[in-house]
Structure 1
Amino acid sequence: MEPPRPAGPHKPAQDNEKPLASASTSTPNYELRAILSGHKASIASITFSPDGAMLASAGSDKVIKLWDGITGEILDTLEGHTEGISDIAWASDGEYIASASDDKTIKIWSMEERSEVKTLIGHTNFVFCVNYNPNSNLLVSGGFDETVRIWDIARGKPLKVLPAHSDPVTAVSFNHDGTLVVSCAMDGLIRIWDAESGQCLKTLVDDDNPICSHVKFSPNSRFVLASTQDSTIRLWNYQTSKCVKTYTGHSNRTYCIPACFVTSKGKYIVSGSEDNKIYIWDLQTRQVLQVLDGHRDAVLAIATHPFRNIIASASMEKDLTIRLWFDE
């Protein structure tokens, strides 16, 4: 896990742009529906399959667990990594999962065979983050070797090795058409890359330069949502290099905690927190609309169902559960 670093106060948002459609008309009312147990160490990553039928989870116990995405019933456990897993990602067709591990490898797992089909070797230190492009023929990964790598999955080889950051890379993701990659790192920088050429198109940085834990494109790919270790989530218009919204109230100063968009009901932002809770904000007004309480340790992983009003959350050592929260 990441070392804590002091962080300064956040800057106020520039609230003069509309990131997505109009403000939410509904108020979230998520309730705990299921508690999933099975992991033996901290859970680092959870994610729903593209069709929402399955939930995958992984963490320090070196395994990937597959659960029913609605009932939470355990379906399978995938074993093969020799060290902890920091991140997992589904292919867009749901047929494969990629996993990033401290054993310096990325593994590709077949959902049909429920087994490992390929190992990608190239990172020289812990692999911390991984994501597929929309066509699922490329992977992007980042790690403690400070590089971002774009992989040709069929060949099992990196197409590009980008000397992207001056600190460990904490998150990487493609935009909705696969033309751009966004990365962030402990150096506090967010970078936008041309996926084909590997050229850095833009660097975003806040004045206080807090560690950037997680970054992802908005559903329309016009904005970037960034979580930083000054207990702030920022929404950036990367074309103008302006932070247009900030979301606060949660606690995040030590670990890499992702934030997600919820678009199935209203337009919300959701994040875990080091105070053991989950926070839901209105995307436009930035108000905290609901706080979900129940975990007994920091909530490091969060996932939203692709089309139902379901949030999955996962916690650290003192808890080790995944919780499914429903608003329907």
Structure 2
Amino acid sequence: MESDFPRVTNVILQVHTDEVWNIAWSHDGLYLASASRDKNAIIWRTGPSAAHEAGPHQDWTPHFVLRDHPYPVGCLAWSKDDSVLLTSSDNYIKLWNTKTGVCINTVNEHTDMVTALSWLPDGLGFISGGLDCRIIHWEADGKPHDAWGATALRITDLAVTSDFTRLVTVGMEIQPRLPSTIEVTQSRGAPDGDAPTPSGGNPSKGAHWMIVFDLTTKQTELSICLEGELTSVKVSQNSQYALINHSPDEIHLWDLKAGRLARKYTGQRQGRHVIKSCFGGIEGKFVVSGSEDGNVYAWHRDTGALLEVLAGHGEGTVNSVAWHPRNERMFASCSDDNTIRIWEAPPPQLSIDSNLHNPSRTPAFPDKGKGKPQQRWDEDDVDSVSDSNATP
């Protein structure tokens, strides 16, 4: 039910000393990783009940602070068994043992910033993409397996479909033309929801594309040219839809099987920054995104209706959101205000009347719910935390 939507913040994680750019839950839901401009990643540990239900007394601790990154940390990816966490720092990729917090490998095959990391569904390796136009397939231990070679796309994000058949990439073209099966352009002034129209002209240099590759053959299955920057991509659990943050101020839902735009979501603000959205709720029925106005926005996936505008973060952009993999009533968000917020559904005793679903309002309880104390971690509480002792 919509009344179960996570609109209450009960925990604020406040150890990072600079903007928090990315977050990712472990598959078992017991850990949350965060990546920051402060050149650190943190693995946060939650109480066991948090993986199964939204309990009022969760324990949150910064389990490991992963230091020794030479530059700000941008990307995160958990291995299938949660034993390894990948982090990226400019063109470096680090592999961390999540049981010890020790860096077990550092690789730097990319020659420009790594912008995307994705483990393969079989857990036997991972794929990286970067602004150097390269896609690299790695073994699970960090040894290069093979590569796509140089593509014509400065990759800003990528995702592997759950059915292990496709690699979906987004980025900016550097060549005069890409091989394409579909070319579309969109008018910025078109009414919301209008389908893209075919374009007979060649896309200009610097156009932005979604390219879908066959994961086995590395051949292009689908290529779609769009106006505006494409900053992130998430694929639905059923491998049918790709959710793409599209600047300015739109999120697009693409049907990968039909090769068409299925829906647009509007209301949030995105013009200059990388923002990562996600699916959430039962069967991924919600779409959730941060925004440059400091709020979190949520829509109904199938109707496109704006359901929630959640205030609470401070000034700056809400950069990334991540839905809990086991708890359908919980997600996390991170922001330029140096914090991570954990959002949960209101406790049963708080009846939410229908007027609270008006998308023009902010939630009645942006910071805490009655009867559920808000927990706050700050940097003064991290003295006893185990730091990584790896060398660069």
Asked if these proteins are the same fold (TM beyond 0.5), I'd say yes
> Of residues 32, 45, 53 in structure 1, which corresponds to 2:22?
45
Aligned length: 299
Counterpart in the other structure of 2:84: 96
| Counterpart amino acid of residue 113 in structure 1 | T
Shift, 1:179, TM fit: 2.4
Give the deviation of 1:165 after TM superposition.
3.6
Per-residue CA deviation, residues 257-302 of structure 1 (Å, 9 max, x unaligned), is 1110003487100000000000010111111111110111210021
Q: CA-to-partner distance for each residue in 1:158-200, whole Å, 9 max, x for gaps?
A: 411343343x311111110322111111342111112222222
Counterpart of 1:311 in structure 2 is 331
Q: Deviations over 1:7-54 (max 9, x none)?
A: xxxxxxxxxxxxxxxxx7656252011111111221111011101101
Instruction: State how far apart, in whole Å, the 1-side matches of 2:264 and 2:234 are.
Output: 15
The AA in structure 1 aligned to 2:279 is: F
1:79 matched to 2:67: yes
State the one-letter code of the partner of 1:122: E
**Partner residue of 1:173?**
159
CA contact (8 A) 1:162 1:198 kept: no
The 8 Å contact of residues 30 and 327 in structure 1, kept in 2 or not, is answered as yes
Shift in Å, 1:144: 1.6
Choose the corresponding residue for 1:119, options 106, 115, 127. 106
Partner SS for 2:9: strand
- Aligned residue for 2:27, secondary structure, equals coil
2:318 to 299, 305, 308: 299
Mapping of residues 22-37 of structure 1, within 5 Å: 28-37=5-14
**Hey, what does 1:67 align to over in structure 2?**
44
**Contact 2:105-2:142 within 8 A present in 1 as well:** no
1:142 aligns with 2:129: yes
CA contact (8 A) 1:28 1:289 kept: no
Q: Distance in 1 between matches of 2:344 and 2:12?
A: 12
Partners of 1:158 and 1:62 in 2: CA distance: 28
Q: Which residue of 1 aligns with 2:339?
A: 321
Within 5 Å, give how 1:264-283 maps onto structure 2.
264=282, 267-283=285-301
CA RMSD of aligned residues (A): 1.8
Rounded Cα–Cα distance in structure 2 between residues aligned with 1:114 and 1:155: 17
Greater helix share, structure number: 2
2:333 alignment partner AA: S
Could you tell me how far apart the structure 1 residues matched to 2:142 and 2:288 are?
Answer: 37
Q: What amino acid does structure 1 have at the position aligned with 2:84?
A: Y
Q: Tell which has more relative contact order, 1 or 2 (C-alpha 8 A, sep 6+).
A: 2
Give, in whole Å, the separation in 1 of the partners of 2:321 and 2:149.
Answer: 28
Give secondary structure in 1 for the equivalent of 2:244: strand
Provide the rounded CA distance (Å) in 2 between the counterparts of 1:49 and 1:165.
33
- 1:284 matched to 2:308? The reply is no
Tell me the distance in 2 between the aligned counterparts of 1:279 and 1:90.
25
Task: Please name the residue that 1:226 is paired with.
Answer: 244
Structure 1 residue 216, shift from structure 2 partner: 1.7
Deviations 1:40-97 (A, max 9, x none): 2211110111011010001211211011244432211012221111110111111111
TM-score (norm 1): 0.86
The residue type paired with residue 170 of structure 1 is: T
Q: Which amino acid aligns with 1:120?
A: V
Partner of 1:252: 270
State whether residues 163 and 238 of structure 2, in contact with CA within 8 Å, keep that contact through their aligned partners in structure 1. no
SS in 1 for 2:28: coil
Question: Scaled by the length of structure 2, what TM-score is found?
Answer: 0.73
User: Judging changes above 3 Å, is the alpha-carbon distance between structure 1 residues 29 and 98 closer, same or farther for their aligned structure 2 residues?
Assistant: closer
What residue in structure 2 maps to residue 9 of structure 1? none
Distance (Å, rounded) in 1 between the aligned partners of 2:326 and 2:246: 27
Larger radius of gyration: 2
* Aligned mate of 1:240, from 258, 272, 287: 258
Q: Distance in 2 between matches of 1:127 and 1:88?
A: 11
